[in-house]
Amino acid sequence: MEHNVGSLDRTVRLALGALLVVVGLGAFAGLVPLGTIPAAIGVVLGAVFLVTGYQQTCPLYLPFGINTSDKR
């Protein structure tokens, strides 16, 4: 699959993804006052952001023709 995530987009996805995973896991451990459902949503969204940032490909960008990649 062709890369459609640029460097700034990738950096934001990796940082936000890591933050969401850490906060979600902290909520599961009882360190952050969130419920189970928001914690699970945070972990899942964080994982999606981490994977799409790492692969530099966002499947949701394809149908809309969005490409933030530096190599166009």
Q: How many C-beta atoms lie closer than 10 Å to residue 6's C-beta?
A: 16
Quick one: which of 15, 9, 16, 36 has its CA closest to 25? 36
Q: What is the residue extent of each domain of the chain?
A: 7-64
Per-residue pLDDT of the chain (72 residues; tens, 9 = 90+): 789 999 999 999 999 999 999 999 999 999 999 999 999 999 999 999 999 999 999 999 999 999 999 875
